[in-house]
Amino acid sequence: MAGYDDFVQTSYKPNSKDVIATFHVKVPTWQKEKTAWGAVASESSVGTWAAVKALHYKHVQKVAAKVFDVKKDSNRGYWLKIAYPEDHFEPGNMSQIMASVAGNVFGMKTVDALRLQDIQWTKKIVKSFPGPQFGIHGVRKIFNEKKRPLMLSVPKPKVGMTSAEHANIGWQIWTGGLDLLKDDENLTNQWFNPFERRVLASLKFRDKAEKLTGDKKSYLINVTAPTVKEMERRAKFAAKAGGEYVMIDICTGGWMAVNSLREICQDLGLAMHAHRAFHGSFTRVHDHGFSMLNLAKSVRLLGVDNLHIGTANVGKLVGTAEEVRNIQNNITMDVAPADPKEHSLAQNWYGMKPVFPCSSGGLHPVIVEDVLNKMGTNIMLQIGGGIHGHPKGSYAGAKAMREAVEAYMDGVHVDDAAKSSKELREALEYWGHTRPR
């Protein structure tokens, strides 16, 4: 192999030791199509712009990627399938793997736009990662709740309240019927609400709420920190204070932080909630960047227990029902089927535990029904503004949400349920069936 064109080998038949990636590429008018396709495989594996002699070495070629399938879909737009021999990668090192498959290649002048849509992992790569420690079943066991969606709430405003105000909201939502309090993605250890004070104050109310209700309650404590050492210190603090869960901003923290926290959580017996803030900067534009599907599959490997995946277009954030369903399949099934419409490939997880999908963003109790119709009940539901914005406040908002979920589980339409639930009726009168933007 030397020039970019040599990385296109349409006669190649991939085997079970190839990691397969699907890319969409837009070729500039000045570039030959085949050269652009080959450039994607070259730059994301072993090659560079120059015909370096060592590219011809047999052992180098053994770890080179090849474009083996090309389908035109628009003027100068093509779907490529690229095979990467699994030996190209360091097993268990997501940062290394992504520096190849999702690395420099996105900035090349020789493509106008490039979208990495899916990566089909091989058995060896899957087995090199831990996967979730608890997964859906383990998390359900913590709450002794087999069927209904688990319910959580983030205090709003996101940032600015004191630790005492934050903890008090915890008290209201727990006693109102929710399972989990959650820190927001941008609340970590600010001076007005320091980490340790918040954790201690909130867990105190958690204990009281458990005593009052007789139900298990928990708290998703944001341990995202500037260094792994500090993240570990915070996770240890959370565990020692009696927490059973931590959360991390997986995108702003990065692969290594997620991987490291998974190890820390194993030692401490903590479950891990993954928040995806920042993903929209690289997943949202459909002809360029890295898909949410890839992110979700990668963090299943790394071992988060819950992951935000969207609301199937019911709430305030983008993400079509089809896209969200495909992501949900890929984080929950043992063998996820291919989805040609989403340009995703089948994925065997070889027994790796499923991740609990979390639906969140612009929800309120009245439209919970729409989400459950689309995503099923084996999910977590997060409602922030739709609880704390209830006309009667957070406690009433939590009660309304609990009533909405119980009604759904009993097969009762939300409008009918509102007749016998004061808080749900107030939510219905206030918001109707509006879908926030």
Residues forming contacts to ligand CAP in the complex (CB under 6 A) are 154, 156, 158, 184-185, 276, 308, 310, 316-317, 360-363, 382-386
CA 414 to chain centroid, in Å, comes to 29
Q: What contacts 131, CB < 8 A, 6 or more positions away?
A: 300, 301, 303, 349, 352, 353
Tokens, residue 228: 């792994």
Q: How far is the CB of 156 from ligand CAP (least distance, A)?
A: 6
For residues 124 and 92, what is the distance between their CA atoms, to the nearest angstrom?
10
Going along 294-378, which residue ranges are E strands? 306-308, 335-336, 347-348, 356-360
| Closer by beta carbon to ligand CAP, 83 or else 314 | 314
Question: Where does residue 340 rank: exposed (0-12), middle (13-18), buried (19+ CB within 10 A)?
Answer: exposed
Going along 251-303, which residue ranges are E strands? 271-275, 289-290
Q: How far is the CB of 49 from ligand CAP (least distance, A)?
A: 38
| Closer by beta carbon to ligand CAP, 178 or else 363 | 363
Q: How far is the CB of 310 from Mg ion (least distance, A)?
A: 13
Q: What is the DSSP letter of 344?
A: B
| Closer by beta carbon to Mg ion, 155 or else 303 | 155
Is 133:161 a contact under the CB 8 Å cutoff?
no
Catalytic site residue from 81, 88, 182, 275 = 275
- Please state the φ and ψ torsions of residue 257, each to the nearest 5 degrees: -65, -40
Residue 156 annotated among the catalytic residues of the structure: yes
* Residue in 223, 215, 275, 212 with CA at minimum distance from that of residue 245: 223
Task: For residue 33, list its beta bridge partners.
Answer: none
Catalytic site residue from 26, 127, 156, 158 = 156
274 binds, among ligand CAP, Mg ion, none (CB under 5 to 8 A by kind): none
Residues that bind Mg ion (CB under 5 A): 184-185
Q: How far is the CB of 361 from Mg ion (least distance, A)?
A: 8
| Closer by beta carbon to ligand CAP, 132 or else 361 | 361
How many C-beta neighbours within 10 Å does residue 286 have? 12
| Closer by beta carbon to ligand CAP, 329 or else 359 | 359
Task: For residue 79, list its beta bridge partners.
Answer: 24, 71
| Closer by beta carbon to ligand CAP, 102 or else 296 | 296
156 binds, among ligand CAP, Mg ion, none (CB under 5 to 8 A by kind): ligand CAP
Q: How far is the CB of 212 from ligand CAP (least distance, A)?
A: 25
For residues 150 and 173, what is the distance between their CA atoms, to the nearest angstrom?
13
* Residue in 150, 155, 152 with CA at minimum distance from that of residue 186: 155
Residue 273 annotated among the catalytic residues of the structure: no
371 binds, among Mg ion, ligand CAP, none (CB under 5 to 8 A by kind): none
Classify 268 as helix, strand or coil.
helix
236 binds, among Mg ion, ligand CAP, none (CB under 5 to 8 A by kind): none
159 binds, among ligand CAP, Mg ion, none (CB under 5 to 8 A by kind): none
360 binds, among Mg ion, ligand CAP, none (CB under 5 to 8 A by kind): ligand CAP
Q: Token match 């996967």: residue?
A: 131
Q: How far is the CB of 404 from Mg ion (least distance, A)?
A: 20
Show which residues are catalytic.
156, 275
